[in-house]
Amino acid sequence: MNNMLKHTASCLLALVFAAACGAATARAQSRDLRVVKAVAGGVNFVSGDVKLQTPGRSGWRSLTTTDDLKSGDVLKTGSDGRAEVLLNPGSYLRLGVNSEFELADASLDNLRLKLYKGSAVVEATGYDDMRTYILLDTPQTSVQLVRRGIYRLNITPDGRTEVAVQKGRALVGKKPLTVKGGEVARVGAGGGVEVAKLDKKNLDELDLWSKERAKELARLNGELKARRVRSLLSSANFARFNGQFGPYGGHGVWVYDQRFRCYTFLPFYSSWDSPYGGSYGLFYPTYPCHNCGYNNGWYDPNAGYIPPSQPSKSYIPQPVPMPSGGSSLPITRGGSSGGDAAPPVRTKP
């Protein structure tokens, strides 16, 4: 266990990071190393026995980190297999051993997953109380993840679905029952939902691996070269994605780093972090707002500065076009109460 975790941590920040991500140099070159992704389905980590089945093709083939999943693609892991898949910007799915899931719908405005067997963890990063919309189906029930948080789903051998909410909030069942952080919901074959207190100390290898992975990916955000990222975002490649982020993709983008051959998340706001505790210190402010930081109020491009005491309608920002000759907006490190980043208006779920 300890050796595995040490290996995960070291491979993310050392030269062996490329091998851990399962991407040899030749394979990595098949991807557009300049790409800034605003879509779900990128395969970010593969370890052990992981197979892919695509619609219209019989049989399974080995999965690699050069794959991008499409709607209808199915993954399954063996007794030593693990995989990490990018969901809507800022969220990760981590599949455990002896598991199987389908990316039923990869669109950002209707993201839907199906877990057929085994276990998976979803990490939804963001700012406090941020809404997220991820739908998961199991043979017994449906689950909607509505808050930034950490969610563990298990299909038990006796045919039940367990939804453990370490942090966040989920809606479980056909007649949705709210499951809060620190609770676990169990759903039987009949669809009845039972909610109990979650034992947060009862962690297995998947939980520990997900936690270590989350911390290292947040750290990788800070390792990105600001000049290179600024160049990417000022390119036509990024402008091509402008306006295509969907209502739930406007918080940031996945940036592929050639050195580490993995994606990490680049938010458009400060105060973005992982629910595990890692901070995303590098961010790209799409709406500059001097002297109206996270603790002092809110900035809505349609309404201007909004004091903390004044409620506002929910606002979901869209990226602005980048000038072809280079961006006038800075890549910024670290959040502050008076910086240039424009945090979204607070909303209640």
Query: pLDDT value at position 342?
Result: 43
| Residue 166 CB contacts under 8 Å (≥ 6 apart), including other chains | 149, 150, 151, 152, 181, 182, 198, 200, 275
Separation between Cα atoms, residue 222 and residue 229, nearest integer Å: 11
Tens of pLDDT, residues 18-54: 333 433 333 344 454 445 666 789 999 999 999 999 9
At 298, is the pLDDT very low, low, confident or very high (cuts 50, 70, 90)?
A: very low
3-state secondary structure of 3: helix
Ranges 183-197, 232-246, 335-349: which has the least confidence:
335-349
pLDDT at 311 over 50: no
Pick the residue with more confidence: 111 or 32? 111
Q: At 214, which amino acid appears?
A: A
In eight-state DSSP terms, residue 46 is E
Query: pLDDT value at position 274?
Result: 94
At 4, is the pLDDT very low, low, confident or very high (cuts 50, 70, 90)?
A: very low
Q: Which helix (H) or strand (E) holds 68?
A: none
Mean pLDDT of 221-226: 84
Which parts of 71-190 are beta strand (E)? 73-77, 82-86, 91-95, 100-105, 112-124, 131-137, 142-147, 149-155, 161-167, 169-172, 177-180, 183-187
Tens of pLDDT, residues 272-293: 899 999 889 888 776 544 333 3
Query: pLDDT value at position 154?
Result: 97
pLDDT at 328 over 70: no
At 303, is the pLDDT very low, low, confident or very high (cuts 50, 70, 90)?
A: very low
At 64, is the pLDDT very low, low, confident or very high (cuts 50, 70, 90)?
A: very high
pLDDT at 75 over 70: yes
Query: pLDDT value at position 284?
Result: 78
Mean pLDDT of 222-246: 63
Query: pLDDT value at position 324?
Result: 39
Mean pLDDT of 242-250: 45
Tens of pLDDT, residues 185-218: 999 888 889 999 999 888 999 999 999 999 999 9
Q: Are 182 and 197 in contact, with CB atoms under 8 Å apart?
A: yes
Tens of pLDDT, residues 148-157: 999 999 999 9
DSSP, residue by residue, 300-321: ETTTEEE-TTS--------PPP
Pick the residue with more confidence: 337 or 144? 144
Query: pLDDT value at position 287?
Result: 52
CATH class of 36-208: mainly beta
For the chain, give the mean pLDDT: 75
Angle at which helices 2-13 and 205-223 cross, to 10°: 20
